[in-house]
Amino acid sequence: MNRSRSAQLFESALQLIPGGVNSPVRAFRAVGGVPFFAVRAEGPYIWDADDNRYVDYVGTWGPAIHGHAYPPVVRAIQEAAALGTSFGVPNPAEIELARLVRSAVPSIEKVRFTSSGTEACMSAIRLARGATRRDAIVKFAGCYHGHADSLLVKAGSGALTFGHPDSAGVPADFARHTLVVPFNDIPALQHLFHERGNEIACVIVEPVAGNAGLFPPRPGFLEELRRLTALHGSILIFDEVMTGFRLSWGGAQGLFGIRPDLTCLGKIIGGGLPVGAFGGRADIMDLLAPLGPVYQAGTLSGNPLAMAAGIASLRGLQDGAAYQRLERLGALFEVSLRNVAQRLGIPLQVQRVGSMFCAYFTTEPVWNLDDAMKSDRSQFAKFFHGMLDRGVYLAPSQFEAGFLSTAHTEADFDHTLRSAEACLALLA
């Protein structure tokens, strides 16, 4: 496949932008080679600067649940843009999106919009600290909650992919307040709360961990988290930036029946525009400025284009039909890929929750970061490039989740599975 135009663009980008990319996960460093430059995307497909078409399983890292350039979102953005791109004062669309979010996620009594998931998580942590007047926070190894200082400790996503789960530039004084526990490890959690429960402001968790590949919560894990935080007066924060409006209309908390105190959202609620949100119990949310002492702000927060895109995106999910289609497609994808690997004798763990998935090159199921680290990343890199050359774009790291959209078709799957079969056969 000719990608010479992308290679030229990357050369130019390297002169101007660190690493040639504006977010490290795009750099292909973990799999080698040169990233392609996208010029267009529609439905389940993305086209590069050399006019190669790929079936896209990254979906702009999660937001594209309807596929790319979903007509209702495109129309909503066009109509909103014609009326002004930013106001810097409240606008009615903020109320409409807030209503939609609240109607879907009952634990969210009040919500504030930000411009990214990072901002949402950073702000939720500050709010939890302000509410409890405690400093310590708990996170799980391999979970990624954006790139705020306190959260870049044993972090997933690009931080893990590039071997810097503890980032340079985070003062040791900040990091010491971040306590890390293995995902799914109930005894470790119980021990930590027993020892330090009265210091812990909050626990932040991806209810389905999607930034070190994909591993689900074991039965009882989220329930115990809810019990322990309530018992010790700590705030439970679900980071649903990825899972919100993805795993069900009510997100992962709807799927698992857990009510956190605060929830962080992003990705789908912006319909592909830069949006984040955090919300939850009104008594906690009302501690935010201007009502309370916890400061949080943003020039483009509640931006009218982003709100319009988010509303159109959520309206397309509201009747539940999309989730039924995604579950059916997801199950088909999972079983078919697993069968192909089994037939060829390749140890591949195909893990899936709804429309999120990951295929780990390892022999045992993955429940936490240590399990994920056992996967064979050189196998993954070969598989990734084989798929790319056959017109299938997977996330360029073993430690990222893949995403299905309602725009993917069974014909796309056929092509994907035939490609997977050919690539896995070369690894056998």
Residues annotated as part of the active site:
144, 239, 267
For the bound state, the minimum distance from the C-beta of residue 23 to ligand HOZ, rounded and expressed in Å, comes to 3
Nearer residue to ligand HOZ within complex by CB, 213 or 304? 213
Helix (H, G, I), strand (E, B) or coil at 11: helix
- Is there a contact between 161 and 397 (Cβ–Cβ < 8 Å)? yes
Contact between residue 128 and residue 274 where contact means Cβ atoms under 8 Å apart: no
| Shortest spacing between CB 289 and ligand HOZ, in angstroms | 27
Could you tell me how many residues of this chain bind ligand HOZ (CB under 6 A)?
8
Using the minimum distance from each CB to ligand HOZ, give the nearer residue, 48 or 400. Answer: 400
Is 61 a binding residue for ligand HOZ by CB under 6 A? The answer is yes
- Pick the closest to residue 262 from 293, 229, 300, 310 (CA basis): 229
SS3 356: strand
Q: H/E element holding 393?
A: strand 392-393
Q: Among 6, 116, 123, 157, which residue interacts with ligand HOZ (rule: CB under 6 A)?
A: 157
> Please, how many CA atoms are within 13 Å of residue 240, restricted to the half-sphere of its CB?
36
Cβ nearer to ligand HOZ, comparing 45 with 144:
144
Cα-based angle 378, 380, 383 (whole degrees, multiple of 5): 115
Residue closer to ligand HOZ, measured from CB, 193 or 399: 399
Which residues in the 349-408 window bind ligand HOZ by CB under 6 A? 400
Q: Which of 211, 229, 313, 351 binds ligand HOZ (CB under 6 A)?
A: 211
Asked if 255 contacts 115 with a C-beta cutoff of 8 angstroms, the reply is no
Residue type at position 161: T
Site string for ligand HOZ, 165-204 (x = CB under 6 A): ----------------------------------------
Q: How many Cβ atoms from other residues are within 10 Å of residue 386's Cβ?
A: 18
**Which one, 43 or 156, has the nearer CB to ligand HOZ?**
156
By CB under 6 A, tell whether 113 contacts ligand HOZ.
no
How many H-runs (helices) and E-runs (strands) does the chain carry? 15, 14
Cβ proximity to ligand HOZ, 157 vs 368, nearer residue: 157
Q: Of the two residues 162 and 427, which places its CB atom closer to ligand HOZ in the complex?
A: 162
Cα distance between residue 277 and residue 113, in whole Å: 4
Q: Minimum distance from CB of 144 to ligand HOZ (Å)? A: 6
Displacement of CA 37 from its chain's centroid (Å): 22
Which of 130, 158, 244, 330 is the binder for ligand HOZ (CB under 6 A)?
A: 158
Q: Are 147 and 203 in contact (CB under 8 A)?
A: no
Q: 264, 296 in Cβ contact below 8 A?
A: no
Least gap, CB of 379 to ligand HOZ (angstroms):
21
> Of the candidates 25, 122, 228, 262, which one interacts with ligand HOZ according to CB under 6 A?
25
Closest residue to ligand HOZ in the complex (CB): 23
Q: Which helix (H) or strand (E) holds 127?
A: helix 117-132
Smallest separation (angstroms) from ligand HOZ to the CB of 210: 7
Question: Which residues ranging from 406 to 425 are in contact with ligand HOZ (CB under 6 A)?
Answer: none
What mask, x for binding ligand HOZ by CB under 6 A, covers residues 324 to 343?
--------------------
Residue 422 CB, shortest distance to ligand HOZ, in Å, is 27
According to DSSP H, which parts of 273-427 are helical? 282-285, 304-315, 321-344, 369-373, 377-389, 410-427
The single residue among 4, 12, 23, 198 that binds ligand HOZ, judged by CB under 6 A, is: 23
Instruction: Please state the closest distance from residue 128 (CB atom) to ligand HOZ, in A.
Output: 21
**Residue 240 burial by CB count (10 A; 0-12/13-18/19+): exposed, middle or buried?**
buried
Where do contacts with ligand HOZ occur on this chain (CB under 6 A)?
A: 23, 25, 61, 144, 157-158, 211, 400
